[in-house]
């Protein structure tokens, strides 16, 4: 080995020994610095998938929680006519609706034609809210994620009520109001009974309610009042209307029911033998024929005049109803028994028995 003073450690001709050549920094013999490696594109997609999975997981948890918490018949957040019935069973929901609506659905509506105001009683006009049917309609399981999660966040579901509208009853009431406010009951054409004979009364163009249009407006006003409780007068107007009944229909009515009804005496009685007879002349005081919605003439009995005509004849007579209850004879009972008898010409068949159809 080499010790101190070795020739390689001494000056050579006064010049230090030069070490053997080696690689120079950055030189051509040195490997180039490594460039940073690009991240595989798959890793970015993986992160997005993880985020998406996390979001879906949270949504799934919220959805499951909503299903667990909302197990009532009526989904949470459900309102009908402004009444919150969400989270209730059917019975409780019906009870809540009935209590909240109260007189909103039974109080008279105010109808105004021109300056004339009239009351329209929902019960008489065939209007009503069927709360049981309404609850049955809304009491359904809703598995829509938006709805389920929305219920957790206090979202409201506004549902429509089931509205009962008896168009025949409503039509009669509106025609009565129209006549009372300046319309003419005979302007559409009718048959009256005078001196024991049927007489045609032709119609003419006149100012009257468009009943079909009015029916829709009354229905909308009834629902609105049921929701708000505010009785805002419903403004209706009369417009020029052609007569409903043509000459052919007038002739058919006079030659048909008109002639038969006036063919002789008619008897009205009850099962116990209580009875009263009406002559053709007397029938004419309360009987007429008026057009239905299709312009066909139908027999009509003025119940008030009819009841005054038979007076106390049936006082004390009780009819057994379908429920088993026994009640007094009403003008409707008597009229219902009389009309079929008026369609007969055989004297033996011109007998109307009150309560026969009970």
- pLDDT number for residue 2: 45
- Is 235 among the domain residues? no
Residue 342 located in a structural domain: yes
Using CA atoms, how far apart are residues 184 and 186, in angstroms rounded to an integer? Answer: 5
Q: Which residues, at least 6 apart from 58, have a Cβ–Cβ distance to it below 8 Å?
A: none
Number of domains composing the chain: 1
57 DSSP 8-state letter: H
Residue 151 in any domain: the answer is no
β-pairing, 78-80 vs 83-84, is antiparallel
Query: What integer pLDDT is reported at residue 4 of this predicted model?
Result: 44
* 203 domain residue, yes or no: no
Displacement of CA 46 from its chain's centroid (Å)? 52
| 175 domain residue, yes or no | no
Task: Tell me the residue ranges of DSSP E strands in the chain.
Answer: 78-80, 83-84, 109-113, 116-120, 127-129, 157-159, 163-165, 190-194, 197-201, 206-208, 234-236, 239-241, 266-270, 275-278, 287-291, 297-301, 318-320, 326-328, 351-354
Domain assignment present for residue 285? The answer is: yes
- How far apart, in Å, are the Cα atoms of 269 and each of 29, 280, 282, 340? 133, 17, 17, 13
Flag whether 312 is in a domain: yes
The answer to whether the predicted template modeling score (pTM) of the entire model surpasses 0.85 is: no
290 is in which domain, residue-wise? Answer: 248-354
CA-based Rg of the chain, rounded to a whole angstrom? 45
Confidence (pLDDT) at 52 = 61
Mean pLDDT by 10 residues, the chain (358 residues): 44 47 50 52 61 56 46 82 92 95 94 92 96 91 51 69 95 88 79 97 91 95 95 93 94 98 98 96 98 93 97 95 92 97 97 85
At 1 the pLDDT is 45
Q: Would 56 be classed as within a structural domain?
A: no
Which residues have C-beta within 8 Å of that of residue 278, sequence separation ≥ 6?
A: 265, 266, 267, 268, 309, 338
């Amino acid at each position: 080995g080499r010790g101190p003073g070795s020739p390689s450690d001494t000056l050579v001709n006064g010049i230090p020994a030069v070490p053997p050549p080696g690689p120079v920094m950055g030189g051509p013999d040195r490997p180039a610095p490594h460039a940073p490696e690009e991240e595989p594109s798959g890793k970015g997609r993986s992160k997005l998938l993880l985020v998406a999975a996390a979001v879906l997981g949270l949504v799934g948890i919220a959805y499951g929680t909503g299903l667990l918490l909302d197990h009532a018949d009526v989904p949470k957040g459900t309102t009908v006519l402004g009444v919150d019935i969400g989270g209730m069973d059917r019975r409780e929901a019906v009870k809540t609706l009935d209590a909240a609506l109260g007189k909103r659905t039974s109080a008279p509506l105010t109808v105004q034609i021109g300056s004339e105001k009239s009351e329209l009683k929902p019960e008489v006009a065939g209007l009503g809210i069927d709360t049981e049917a309404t609850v049955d309609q809304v009491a359904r399981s809703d598995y829509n994620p938006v709805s389920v999660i929305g219920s957790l966040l206090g979202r409201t579901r506004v549902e429509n009520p089931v509205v009962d509208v008896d168009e025949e009853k409503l039509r009669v009431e509106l025609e009565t109001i129209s006549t009372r406010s300046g319309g003419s009951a005979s302007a559409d054409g009718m048959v009256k009974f005078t001196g024991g004979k049927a007489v045609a009364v032709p119609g003419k163009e006149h100012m009257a309610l468009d009943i079909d249009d009015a029916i829709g407006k009354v229905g909308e006003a009834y629902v609105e009042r049921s929701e708000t409780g505010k009785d805002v007068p419903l403004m209706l107007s009369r417009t020029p209307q052609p007569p409903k009944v043509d000459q052919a229909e007038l002739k058919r009515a006079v030659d048909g029911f008109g002639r038969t009804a006036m063919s002789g005496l008619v008897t009205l009685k009850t099962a116990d033998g209580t009875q009263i007879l009406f002559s053709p002349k007397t029938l004419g005081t309360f009987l007429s024929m008026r057009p239905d919605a299709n312009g066909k003439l139908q027999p009509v009995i003025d119940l008030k005049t009819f009841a005054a005509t038979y007076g106390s004849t049936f006082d004390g007579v009780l009819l057994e109803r379908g429920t088993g209850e026994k009640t007094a004879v009403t003008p409707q009972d008597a009229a219902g028994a009389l009309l079929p008898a008026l369609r007969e010409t055989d004297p033996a068949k011109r007998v109307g028995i009150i309560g026969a159809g009970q």
